[in-house]
Structure 1
Amino acid sequence: MKKTSPEPLIINSLSEYNRIMGLPQPEHPLISVLDIGCRQEIPDLPGDKLIYNFYGIFLKRNIGNGLGYGRKYYDFSNGVMGFSLPKQVFTLDREMDYSKITGWILLIHPDFLRKYPVAKKIASYGFFSYHLHEALHLSEKEEKLIDGIMRNIRDEYSQQIDGYSQDVIVSHIELLLNYANRFYNRQFITRSNAEQEPVARFEQLVSQIFSEDQISRIPGVNDLAEQMNVSPHYLSDMLRSLTGMSAQQHIHNQLIEKAKEILLTTNLSINETAYNLGFEYPQYFNRLFKSKTGLTPAAFRKDFVGN
């Protein structure tokens, strides 16, 4: 059995990616649309982990469980769409028959977007930080629409480049991202029955934390997402779509309800209340309480108990 390197293979450019994958050099050095399905086996790599220093947007079919991200593998036979940021780690399964996978992948080097507003905005698209098992399931109609945008991108950089080519391609990329946002929102709604269980589990986890008399630390979205085995962005986007509030808003709302309970049923000072709720600095508690209720903790207590 071949010994593999524990260190990830870092791929910095599209040319390097194509060379390693045994593909012809890309037509454009900073953006490329590649068909998937022409390879019968994975390349002879020194390890099982890859890091791409560019953005990736893919549509793959018949994946099985061949590709892992972090500690999770995903198992989809129909077409799914996924997104990756530079420096994310991917894991190859050498037992997987990759010849069955079809679809395409769009690779975008950050330099291609550098002078455009989307270079900063792209971080706001939470799905780039989703786990792969949280991939986007497209309907047949949606898939055709996305395929059309991909063909337009490839056609644009494949023909004679002029002063408008990059602007046109970037506009197609933004359109692609906006459609992905819309389709994810649709997925949260149409799969709401499947998502109700994690919503209920999230609320239960938060409730359990705030049921304690003293809280050592305010729960973070990352901590709760890890317990639920979902990505923080996916958790917040799912909750926002189904409940109208992000994960952080849910946490703060339950924290404020716990604070009201302490203020109205105990003689703890405001500072002691803050410490009991996990605040290191009472002024942060005062600020959050007032932003949520319109009153300081002291004013709230005075209005209700007259002390």
Structure 2
Amino acid sequence: MKTTEFQVLHTVTDYTRYYGLPAPAHPLLTLINLAEVRERTFPDPVVSHLYTIALKRGLKGTMYYGRQTYDFQDGVLMFFAPVQVVQTEADLDISEMTGWTLVFHPDLLRKYPLGQKITSYTFFAYEVHEGLHLSAKEEQLLDGVLSSIRHEYEQSIDAFSQDLLIAQLEVLLGYANRFYHRQFLTRRLAENDLLSRFEAQLTAHFSQAGHQALPTVQQFAEQLHVSPDYLSDMLRALTGQTAQQHLHHALIERAKHLLLSTSLTVNETAFQLGFEYPHCFTRLFKSKTGLTPAAFRFSAH
């Protein structure tokens, strides 16, 4: 069996060297104008320890992010988190590529609140078709923010450089977050279909008789071919509850049914639902209903 060779890029300088780009003017950040610089592509998968935000147009071919193909159609903003695998096929044609790529090291954010806040931007974990679809006006707005970042990036580094770069980067991510939520609100048909399929899977899972494994959000997301973060964000936008909250609701409803319609003990009910330890079931049930399973059963008689 052939062993896959991974190219590991630890620094911004590693990134620019690997792709044959000009050396970065800042040790922790680089902004690349793709109309001026054509990236080289390699078939080996790349594992970057950097954050990457890119708007690429004119690409032809196949790109993979993780285990899935990335849809890089025009007007789609892509987000790659550190230690994610990105790979391109040999057929990727970059001869007409335009757009920009912003690459920055996590160390740039370490001493700032953004260092923690960036982990809440779930679009960095999204997969292939979950890129951010921009309107022409939104592209122009982000181009303005990028111009400010470029202006500061090209200045000589002084005591204010990092503070200003972080402030502008936070503006960029804030707009991206706003646009993602707009996307959730304007893609109702597809999302309602996803919601219907999710609810159907929940119903099917909990209607099965006999012992089964405790369900997880990851399990349902894989069945729906989306990431867990995307599923939760979509459900929160449509229903106000995350995927985990939906799962807990269905789990408690199933537990109530078993407690009231069968002679199973509380421990047997816990095992039937997939809990390895009955006390975990009791704790969850009480947190959701205000009663222990035994007290709930007693109160119904």
From 154, 158, 176, the counterpart of 1:162? 158
Asked whether the equivalents of residues 21 and 37 of structure 2 are also in contact (C-alpha less than 8 Å), the reply is no
Distance 1:277 1:92 in 2: 43
Q: Is 1:191 aligned to 2:217, yes or no?
A: no
The residue aligned with 1:16 is: 14
TM-score (norm 1): 0.92
Q: Which runs of 5+ in 1 are unaligned?
A: none
Q: Which runs of 5+ in 2 are unaligned?
A: none
Displacement of 1:132 after TM fit?
Answer: 2.7
Displacement of 1:118 after TM fit?
Answer: 1.4
From 254, 261, 265, the counterpart of 2:261? 265
From 103, 109, 120, the counterpart of 2:105? 109
Distance 2:38 2:119 in 1: 35
Percent of aligned pairs with the same amino acid: 50
Correspondence 1:118-157 to 2 at 5 A: 118-157=114-153
What is the letter of the counterpart of residue 30 of structure 1?
L
Asked whether the equivalents of residues 31 and 108 of structure 1 are also in contact (C-alpha less than 8 Å), the reply is yes
Asked whether the equivalents of residues 237 and 246 of structure 1 are also in contact (C-alpha less than 8 Å), the reply is yes
Q: Is 1:36 aligned to 2:34, yes or no?
A: yes
The residue aligned with 1:51 is: 47
What is the letter of the counterpart of residue 86 of structure 1?
P
From 70, 78, 82, the counterpart of 2:78? 82
CA offset digits 1:140-185 (Å, max 9, x no partner): 1211111111111111121132212211111111122122111111
Q: Is 1:275 aligned to 2:274, yes or no?
A: no
What is the letter of the counterpart of residue 283 of structure 1?
H
Distance 1:96 1:87 in 2: 22
Distance 1:189 1:63 in 2: 28
From 241, 246, 257, the counterpart of 2:242? 246
What is the letter of the counterpart of residue 296 of structure 1?
T
Displacement of 1:38 after TM fit?
Answer: 3.7
Displacement of 1:5 after TM fit?
Answer: 7.1
The residue aligned with 2:285 is: 289
Equivalent residue pairs, number? 300
SS at match of 1:267: coil
TM-score (norm 2): 0.94
What is the letter of the counterpart of residue 168 of structure 1?
L
| Aligned residues: CA RMSD | 1.7
CA offset digits 1:104-159 (Å, max 9, x no partner): 11101111111112112211211111013210001112111111111111111211
From 213, 216, 222, the counterpart of 2:212? 216
